A and B are shown apart, each in its own frame.
Chain A
Amino acid sequence: MEMSLNWYLTLSSVLFITGTLGFLFRRNIIVMLMSVELMLNAVNLTLVALSQATADTAGQILVFFVIAVAAAEAAVGLAIVIAIFRGNQTIDISKIKLFRY
């Protein structure tokens, strides 16, 4: 059986929605951030698969940048989590509400 591109794409879809579900249903901010990382990885997988399928390096360059940005985002996000924790002593997202509605 030919190892085709479709399998990678399907795999990355499944990983992506796993990350999405985690982001929607978990209330711990850190776990939510990790779900986001999961989503980013899924997308990276798609990009690399397509890039290798067309022998075009542009996809992998983009993955390179995505990883860099993910790193930056993780750093800043975790810094915010620390700052929130200092004030509220909780990292349960459903308890952190600034708006009243």
Chain B
Amino acid sequence: MQTQILVELIILLPLAGAVFLGIGGLFAPAMRSRETLVGAIGTAMVVVPFICTVILFIGFDGEAQIAHFFTWMAAGDLSIAFEYRVDQLSLVMTLVITGVGGLIHLYSIGYMHGDPGFWRFFAYLNLFIFAMLNLVLGNNLVVLFLGWEGVGLCSYLLIGFWYTDLKNSAAANKAFIMNRIGDFCFLLAMFFLFRELGSLDFDVILSAGPSLDSGIINIVVLLLFLGATGKSAQIPLFTWLPDAMAGPTPVSALIHAATMVTSGLYLMARLSPLVLAAESVMSVIAIVGATTAIVAATIAITQNDIKKVLAYSTISQLGYMFLATGVGAFWVAIFHVMTHAFFKGCLFLGSGSVIHGMHDVEHQLEHAGEDGAAIHIDPQDMRTMGGLKKYMPSTRMTFLMSTLAIAGIPLLSGYFSKDEILFQAFSVMGHNNAAAVAWVIGIITAFLTAVYMTRAYVLTFEGEERWPKADIIKPHESPWTMTAPLWVLGILAVVAGFVGLPAVIQHGELNWIHHFLGSSFGGPVAETAAEGHVSVATEWILLATGAAIALAGVFLTWRWYSSQGLAFDDKLRARFGGLYRLAEGKYFIDEAYDRAIVKPLIGSTTKFFAPFDRFVIDGAVNLIGFMTRATSFILRYMQTGIVSTYATAIVLGVVLVLALMLFGQ
């Protein structure tokens, strides 16, 4: 009973917030400018669910609890209810969503200050939290899909938040359309599952699913994975994420770092017994994940926009998580989801703080040129940053903490989660070729991760100031509503790893998250039965290697960039020539998609579909109207007012009646 009420609060409060802020702001314009009120309501509607989740977490006894609300649709064999499942997996996800979400709401109060759409922003954010909670708490695929689509919608609304600039709307469209392609595959998978199993409840799918025909399982899991690539930005559907940086930074932090993009991984983890049964698809997942990781990492090294670096970093880290999924270590993927939410969230919020400060600089530069002319800088471009540690100490410190965490410096959270992924891949390498390839790629990418993140940090905070008139115009630190979340997330980025200490420590006894989630300990996330046997010594060597790579990456990059600054980029360009240009051009995938898919589609639409719609479909409708007119044109001669016509008609009737009477049966 208590669970029911808590779940109700968790789900409904964000929805109530969204509706209240949305409708209220729409019909009561006076409310729009009261930022404190709007911000407080928006944040409270996420913080209170967080508290409820903590209560649920503390009181959790290991048994999955179902909160049933009402039947949504019942038709024939299909019966779908609004049912929510509280178990270890959904608790972990909900804690992350509401916790990090609450912090980001608080941050947004400061970041979006002065924006005329302040109220709209919080309404959309609350709506997003509602949809995301439906996604992770739903007890059947349909409620999950409702949340899946809902977060896609909110992503669209929030990316295109400043819709007056058409580029933002285009980016929002791109995100939504690519998501849609993935959603289509997801739907197909749902159709398959329903046809085979007759139900979409997780209990049914997880118990009866793995025993289906392996061909069906492979197709279903492949389709689900394709849906996940759309949401979680993997090859082939990842090009929307860098464009999505057009949205406000809190959006990038919440949606495109901490929560929405992890929904694909949640889906895989939730359906892990089913995924484990599709072995060939799992190899595909691992390879795709690893490839995406390295491709994104190479692009990130070449980018100059700080948010783009973080976007590609997110894609790369998501690739790591899919790598883990592909080798059967689903709980590790969720572990990395959690740590990634902390350090990437902190990095994005930090970049937002930096952009906030540089925006101020940009503003002051508008009248600072010769004779009051404007000097333009891009507040997001790292080439005009540098030396910000003097002006933004909190931002700098938390950014540094998170950078080291993502690079994998020992004892920070990223080290534990990333190393665990690589370790899992290594341990099944012997009989799983895909895992071997993935492991090698993963090691290389770890080095690259350290490189591009340190580069971003050094170019932004260290060295000399590179913006014009740097002696007169200086940025300042952000308000407490922005720096407080930064500190919270930064500290979490440092310490959160300790919930998942590796197996070498006391034989895995202290790996709390493994014990919590893994099915070998009664949790909901399945694990591979085939555990490779890796000796303790090898394990320590692997741990040490990981640490060494991370430290080397950070140290070398620090030295290269702090001494040479941007000149090092030119050195890289000279050294790697073609490869560098390829990476800088994002492997020209956008252009390829444009040539291969977008242009033919637009061409066929304008040449075929649009005229088809106009002439055939509209024509058919118009034809009905035309036929009515034509018929009435003929029929009106029945009433002409001419007596002889009437008489003729009567005689005609007489003939017919007589004939009928004489000859009709």
Residue positions of A touching B, CB distance < 8 A = 20, 23-24, 32, 93-94, 97-99, 101
Contact = CB atoms under 8 A, between A and B. Distances in A.
Interface string B625-642: 000000000001101111
A101 B651 contact: no
B643 A99 contact: no
B641 A99 contact: yes
5 contacts: A24-B648, A97-B642, A98-B641, A99-B641, A101-B641
B651 A93 contact: no
A94 B644 CA distance: 8
A101 B636 contact: yes
Contacts of B643: 32, 93
A87 to B, nearest CB: 15
A94 B640 CA distance: 12
Q: How large is the interface on B (under 10, 10 to 19, 20 to 34, 35 or more residues)?
A: 10 to 19
Given A20-B651, A24-B651, A93 B640 contact: no
Contacts of B637: 101
B641 A93 contact: no
A93 B640 CA distance: 13
B530 interface: no
A7 B644 CA distance: 31
Contacts, number: 23
B633 to A, nearest CB: 11
Nearest to A27: B644
B103 to A, nearest CB: 80
A63 B87 CA distance: 97
Contacts of A23: 647
A101 B640 contact: yes
Nearest to A32: B643
B651 A99 contact: no
A98 B640 CA distance: 9
Given A20-B651, A24-B651, A99 B644 contact: no
Contacts of A97: 641-642
Contacts of A93: 643-644
Nearest to A17: B651
A101 to B, nearest CB: 5
Contacts of A24: 644, 647-648, 651
A98 B637 CA distance: 14
B456 to A, nearest CB: 85
A23 B645 CA distance: 11
B651 A94 contact: no
Contacts of A101: 636-637, 640-642
A97 B651 CA distance: 21
Contacts of A20: 651
A80 B582 CA distance: 99
B639 A99 contact: yes
| Shortest 10 CB-CB contacts between residues of A and residues of B | A99-B641, A101-B640, A98-B641, A93-B643, A24-B647, A97-B641, A23-B647, A99-B640, A24-B644, A20-B651
B645 to A, nearest CB: 10
Contacts of B636: 101
B190 to A, nearest CB: 62
Nearest to B654: A20
Nearest to A29: B643
Contacts of A32: 643
B532 to A, nearest CB: 94
A90 B642 CA distance: 15
A94 B647 contact: no
A23 B649 CA distance: 13
Contacts of B642: 94, 97, 99, 101
Contacts of B639: 99
A10 B276 CA distance: 97
Contacts of B644: 24, 93-94
Nearest to A24: B647
A80 to B, nearest CB: 12
Most chain A CB within a 10 A radius of its CB, from B636, B637, B641: B641
Given A24-B647, A101-B636, 20 more contacts: A20-B651, A23-B647, A24-B644, A24-B648, A24-B651, A32-B643, A93-B644, A94-B642, A94-B644, A97-B641, A97-B642, A98-B641, A99-B639, A99-B640, A99-B641, A99-B642, A101-B637, A101-B640, A101-B641, A101-B642
A15 to B, nearest CB: 15
A40 to B, nearest CB: 15
A56 B387 CA distance: 127
Nearest to B642: A97
B647 to A, nearest CB: 5
Nearest to A16: B654
A97 B637 CA distance: 14
Interface in B361-377: none
Nearest to A23: B647
A18 to B, nearest CB: 13
B656 to A, nearest CB: 15
A98 B643 CA distance: 11
A95 B643 CA distance: 11
A94 B647 CA distance: 13
A23 B651 CA distance: 11
A32 B647 CA distance: 11
A23 B643 CA distance: 10
